[in-house]
């Protein structure tokens, strides 16, 4: 009987783990997001805002980001590349005037939040709220 109780306990534990991994969520990022960015440029902290957009294309997901940098001329939106989706997470990068910025975000009900790396010159956090 003791062996049977252990077997039931292990089976129940297995069902708990299986239940959580089998609950696949479908990520639908399509839309426009207002983004807030806290960037650490080699020790200098900047708070930035802008917009990010995701759309379907013939090749899968496509997107762009446009950030307002105080004192810098507008350069237009940067095109997102290397977009990879896994569950509710997404990674992508953008070429910011020769510097590749790598993002890693996780989507929730109202948008996303995540981090980014400035190619060795710093990094920061990003939050996006869907319009």
* CATH, residue 39: 2.40.128.120
- Spell out, as residue ranges, where the chain has pLDDT lower than 50: 1-23
Which H/E stretch holds residue 10?
A: helix 2-22
Q: Do the domain assignments include residue 98?
A: yes
pTM for this entry: 0.76
Range of the domain at 37: 31-130
- Report yes or no on 26 lying in a domain: no
Residue 106: inside a domain: yes
Q: Which residues contact 101 (CB under 8 A, 6 or more apart)?
A: 93, 94, 95, 116, 117, 118, 119
Q: Is residue 118 part of a domain?
A: yes
**Would you state the structure tokens that stand for residue 30, as one six-digit string?**
């399509």
**Domains identified in the chain, total number:** 1
The per-residue pLDDT for range 58-95, each reduced to its tens digit, is 988 999 999 988 877 777 789 999 999 999 999 999 99
Q: What is the pLDDT of residue 15?
A: 38
């Amino acid at each position: 009987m003791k062996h049977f109780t252990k077997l039931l306990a292990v089976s129940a534990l297995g069902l708990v783990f299986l239940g959580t991994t089998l609950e696949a969520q479908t990520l639908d990022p399509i839309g426009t997001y207002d983004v807030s960015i806290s960037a650490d440029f080699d020790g200098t902290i900047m708070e930035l805002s802008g917009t990010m957009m995701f759309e379907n294309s013939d090749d899968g997901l496509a997107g762009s980001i446009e950030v307002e940098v105080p004192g810098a001329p507008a350069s237009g939106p940067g095109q997102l590349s290397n977009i990879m989706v896994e569950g509710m997470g997404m990674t992508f990068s953008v070429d910011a005037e020769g510097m590749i910025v790598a993002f890693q975000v996780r989507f929730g009900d109202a948008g996303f939040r995540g981090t980014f790396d400035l190619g060795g010159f710093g990094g920061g956090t990003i939050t996006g709220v869907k319009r």
